[in-house]
Amino acid sequence: LFSATRVQAVSTMAADEEVVGTVKDQLAKLFEESLRVTVPDQTDTDPLIAACNPRFGDYQCNNAMSLWTKIKGTGSAFTGPQPVGQAIMTNLPRSEMIESCSIAGPGFVNVKLSRQWIAKSIQKMLIKGIETWSPKLRVKRAVVDFSSPNIAKEMHVGHLRSTIIGDTLARMLEFSNVEVLRRNHVGDWGTQVSISVCLRVCMHIYVSVYLFVSSDLACINIIAFYKASKQRFDSDPGFKERAQQAVVSLQGGKEKYRKAWSQICEISRKGYEKVYQRLGIVLEEKGESFYNPYIPGVLEELGKKGLIEESEGARVIFIEGKKYPFIVVKSDGGFNYASTDLTALWYRLNEEKAEWMIYVTDVGQREHFEMLFTAAKRAGWLPPGDNSYPKANHVGFGLVLGEDGKRFRTRSTEVVKLVDLLDEAKSRCKAALVERGKAEEWTEEELEQTAEAVGYGAVKYADLKNNRLTNYTFNFDQMLNDQGNTAVYLLYAHARICSIIRKSGKDVEELKKTGALVLEHPNERALGLHLLQFAEIVEEACTNLLPNVLCEYLYNLSGHFTTFYTNCQTSPNRWCCQSLVAFVLWGQRRRQADSCCVKRLQRSCGNASIYLV
Ligand code: ARG
């Protein structure tokens, strides 16, 4: 098994070859070659490469331990994990990537990358653009189901989380060349809709002359309207019955009900589109009602496959290990959230040919999605297990808490309206800018745009930087602080870099053509390496659906930059590194969602770093 012969000069990276894949991928290729020589019988062993403690090196290969567990007692010539690690190191092909290797503990192979290779690679990154480093994911098309508010109800702070996290995941996947179907699965078909529709129809009948002569609902506060409907629903049994009938009439396509429904949808839609516009978010609405015509066919298929059973008058799918079954047809014969979601999943797989379905909602819906995915696996729509495609994931998130540690509410214990939060973030930023004398320096339009970029960016980043599963406390003072891990700090770092580049009088395009980068100072090397790790960070964030991984990267990047800037005053690389950092912080702008900020960015500031996140 053991071969000590060194494989000569089979570096996978020819000197002038294009940079392919992440640093991790490139190292993995080298280690794969070594593994094939070291343990030729273990052909299914994939190299395990991870970034490591900088005291030992830059990366580590962690295969020795698990290999030893597999091969010990099988007559192998190895005497323990350390010699396995040693052999992996010895058999590593020579490569310009690697400066040195060492063995630690029970066979970890530590790798120190070569400075020249890092320098050459970041120069390539600068010249060819950061897009050429986008990670290669295994999927071509994904659905991200996010935001998804409910018609006739206010978008609240929970929808803010779904909107921000979902949009970020979509952007990260798009950066990784995945086609993303951004789906707004609005609740436009449930009980709350029929309640409003009923009141609307009742009003039409009883008070149309008085209030709605024009049948134009636009003047109505849709939320107040829903509240009034709900109150009546709860207190008036006759109304409740009519509301339940309204669902039937609506689903049966009765003109009067259809019209009332579409008016209510339209008003709600106008409300949340304003929010999307403010946040630069693109979404395509395919609400619950869209899937309604497909439900009978899908349920028939599931019935034929033997998944659906009768239980207390309802039709259900029993899921192993769950206390309650997944109800797909209610006892009154109506469809529900589950029937719609089963159908939507079917539609996304079969009609839209998506390979990855991602659902962004609060963790409270975990059980629903677990049942949904299990049902889909039992139907044979999704493969068993969680690692192969097509795949479905629930991206859950925690609550937003107020200062008191309780669910975030207004003083009058109402849900916090998303629009109010955005307004306040913006007005606080504007006040801070005015205080700094910007009102004299800038036009009103510039002031407004900057306040929006910083204010909305701060709200987004404060949410994204936490692991999404944890609850987070909403605090304006913290998120608008210009020190610490905030969007304001990142924007400041970016603006500062842009301003340095501007004042240097150097042209970045010229820099691309001239000279080779040399990384001398340790801080300079650390910054270069961090820049190179961008692609694998995006890959990790996409694979685990964790935007906070990317936030942490950006925050550390700003830190590495500051150290480099402070300690390498005379480095010939200053301009080159600065422009690259600016570039990464700036992020991708293939879509022009935030083009209104470009003007401001070019001057000194903007929300570019928040583009990816
Ligand atoms: N409308 C739902 C809510 O506000 C979220 C929908 C999420 N998407 C889905 N396919 N179930 O909680």
Whether the predicted model's global pTM rises above the 0.90 cut: no
Q: Is the CB of 187 under 6 A from ligand 1?
A: yes
Position in ligand 1 atom list of the atom nearest CA 368: 11
Q: Is the CB of 148 under 6 A from ligand 1?
A: yes
Tell me if 132 sits within 8 A of 19, measured CB to CB: yes
Distance (Å, rounded) from C-alpha 102 to C-alpha 90?
A: 10
**What pLDDT is stored for residue 7 in this prediction?**
27
Tell me if 230 sits within 8 A of 222, measured CB to CB: no
- Residue 596 pLDDT exceeds 60: no
**What pLDDT is stored for residue 598 in this prediction?**
36
Identify which of 148, 226, 345 to mutate to test ligand 1's pocket (most ligand atoms within 8 A of the CB): 148
What residue ranges in 176-317 does DSSP mark as E strands?
A: 179-184, 284-285, 309-311, 314-317
pLDDT tens digits for 219-270? 456 667 777 777 888 888 887 888 777 777 877 788 888 888 888 888 888 8
Cβ atoms < 10 Å from Cβ of 265: 21
**What pLDDT is stored for residue 573 in this prediction?**
65
- pLDDT averaged over every residue in the chain: 83
Tell me if 179 sits within 8 A of 141, measured CB to CB: yes
Work out whether strand 98-104 and strand 284-285 pair parallel, antiparallel, or are unpaired. Answer: unpaired
Q: Is the CB of 288 under 6 A from ligand 1?
A: no
Tokens (6 digits) for 386: 């969680």
Give residue 146 CA to ligand 1 midpoint distance, Å.
Answer: 8
Give residue 568 CA to ligand 1 midpoint distance, Å.
Answer: 51
Q: 175, 137, 172, 135: which is closest to 22 by C-alpha?
A: 135
pLDDT band at 583 (very low <50, low <70, confident <90, very high): low
Which residue's alpha carbon is at the smallest distance from atom 5 of ligand 1?
148
Position in ligand 1 atom list of the atom nearest CA 337: 11
- Residue 5 pLDDT exceeds 70: no
**What pLDDT is stored for residue 604 in this prediction?**
33
Distance (Å, rounded) from C-alpha 538 to C-alpha 221?
A: 42
Give residue 246 CA to ligand 1 midpoint distance, Å.
Answer: 22
Q: Is the CB of 486 under 6 A from ligand 1?
A: no
**Contacts of 607 by beta carbon, 8 Å cutoff, 6+ apart:** 452, 453, 454, 456, 457, 487, 491, 594, 597, 601
The span from the first CA to the last CA of the chain, in angstroms, equals 48
Give residue 149 CA to ligand 1 midpoint distance, Å.
Answer: 7
Distance (Å, rounded) from C-alpha 318 to C-alpha 304?
A: 15
Give residue 271 CA to ligand 1 midpoint distance, Å.
Answer: 18
Give residue 147 CA to ligand 1 midpoint distance, Å.
Answer: 8
Give residue 285 CA to ligand 1 midpoint distance, Å.
Answer: 12
Give residue 186 CA to ligand 1 midpoint distance, Å.
Answer: 7
pLDDT band at 163 (very low <50, low <70, confident <90, very high): very high
Tell me if 410 sits within 8 A of 462, measured CB to CB: no
Question: For the residues 309-327, what does the mean pLDDT come to?
Answer: 94
Tokens (6 digits) for 447: 């002031």
What separation in angstroms does the CA of 387 have from each of 49, 52, 246, 318, 487? 19, 25, 44, 24, 34
pLDDT tens digits for 404-460? 888 887 666 566 777 888 999 999 999 999 999 999 999 999 999 999 999 999 999
Which helix (DSSP H) or strand (DSSP E) does residue 65 occupy?
helix 63-71
Helices (H) and strands (E) in the chain, counts: 25, 14
Q: Is the CB of 361 under 6 A from ligand 1?
A: yes
462-473: burial string, b at 16+ Cβ within 10 Å, e else: bbbbbebeeebe
Cβ atoms < 10 Å from Cβ of 312: 8
Position in ligand 1 atom list of the atom nearest CA 186: 1
Tell me if 87 sits within 8 A of 78, measured CB to CB: yes
Which residue's alpha carbon is at the smallest distance from atom 11 of ligand 1?
341
Instruction: Provide, rounded to the nearest whole percent, the portion of the chain with pLDDT above 70.
Output: 84
Residue scoring higher pLDDT (170 or 472): 170
**What pLDDT is stored for residue 410 in this prediction?**
65
Distance (Å, rounded) from C-alpha 486 to C-alpha 459?
A: 9
Tokens (6 digits) for 301: 């298929």
DSSP string, 182-211: EEE--B-SSHHHHHHHHHHHHHHHHHTTTT
**What pLDDT is stored for residue 62 in this prediction?**
95
Give residue 478 CA to ligand 1 midpoint distance, Å.
Answer: 30
Q: 278, 112, 288: which is closest to 194 by C-alpha?
A: 288
Distance (Å, rounded) from C-alpha 11 to C-alpha 71?
A: 28
Q: Which residues pair with 108 in a beta bridge?
A: 104
**What pLDDT is stored for residue 152 in this prediction?**
77
Among left, alpha and beta (phi > 0; psi -120 to 50; other), residue 380 is: left
Distance (Å, rounded) from C-alpha 120 to C-alpha 532?
A: 11
Tell me if 186 sits within 8 A of 153, measured CB to CB: no
Distance (Å, rounded) from C-alpha 328 to C-alpha 339?
A: 5
Position in ligand 1 atom list of the atom nearest CA 344: 10
Q: Which residue has the tokens 């071509």?
A: 140
Question: For the residues 102-131, what does the mean pLDDT come to?
Answer: 90
Q: Is the CB of 166 under 6 A from ligand 1?
A: no
Maximal C-alpha separation, the chain: 94
Position in ligand 1 atom list of the atom nearest CA 369: 11
Q: Is the CB of 145 under 6 A from ligand 1?
A: yes
What separation in angstroms does the CA of 271 have from each of 66, 99, 283, 286, 596? 56, 58, 14, 17, 21
Residue scoring higher pLDDT (527 or 579): 527
**What pLDDT is stored for residue 486 in this prediction?**
93
Give residue 138 CA to ligand 1 midpoint distance, Å.
Answer: 27
Position in ligand 1 atom list of the atom nearest CA 362: 12
Q: Is the CB of 359 under 6 A from ligand 1?
A: yes
ipTM over cut 0.85: yes
Cβ atoms < 10 Å from Cβ of 571: 19
**What pLDDT is stored for residue 501 in this prediction?**
80
Q: Is the CB of 150 under 6 A from ligand 1?
A: yes
Give residue 360 CA to ligand 1 midpoint distance, Å.
Answer: 8
- Residue 603 pLDDT exceeds 70: no
**What pLDDT is stored for residue 529 in this prediction?**
95
Give residue 577 CA to ligand 1 midpoint distance, Å.
Answer: 44
**What pLDDT is stored for residue 586 in this prediction?**
57
Residue scoring higher pLDDT (317 or 505): 317
Q: Is the CB of 185 under 6 A from ligand 1?
A: yes
Instruction: Provide, rounded to the nearest whole percent, the portion of the chain with pLDDT above 90.
Output: 52
Is the preceding omega at residue 93 within 30 degrees of 0, hence cis? no
Give residue 184 CA to ligand 1 midpoint distance, Å.
Answer: 9
Give residue 226 CA to ligand 1 midpoint distance, Å.
Answer: 19
Identify which of 163, 181, 185 to mutate to test ligand 1's pocket (most ligand atoms within 8 A of the CB): 185
pLDDT tens digits for 535-545? 899 999 999 99
583-603: burial string, b at 16+ Cβ within 10 Å, e else: bbbbbbeeeebbebbeebbee
Q: Which of 192-206, 352-366, 598-612 has the highest mean pLDDT?
A: 352-366
Cβ atoms < 10 Å from Cβ of 231: 13
- Residue 198 pLDDT exceeds 80: no
**What pLDDT is stored for residue 575 in this prediction?**
61
- Backbone CA torsion sign across 546, 548, 552, 555: positive
Distance (Å, rounded) from C-alpha 63 to C-alpha 36?
A: 12
When mean pLDDT is compared across 213-222, 275-284, 362-371, 384-393, the lowest value belongs to: 213-222
Distance (Å, rounded) from C-alpha 88 to C-alpha 68?
A: 12
Q: Which residues pair with 183 in a beta bridge?
A: 145, 284
Identify which of 361, 367, 369, 394 to mutate to test ligand 1's pocket (most ligand atoms within 8 A of the CB): 361
When mean pLDDT is compared across 25-29, 128-132, 569-573, 585-589, the lowest value belongs to: 585-589
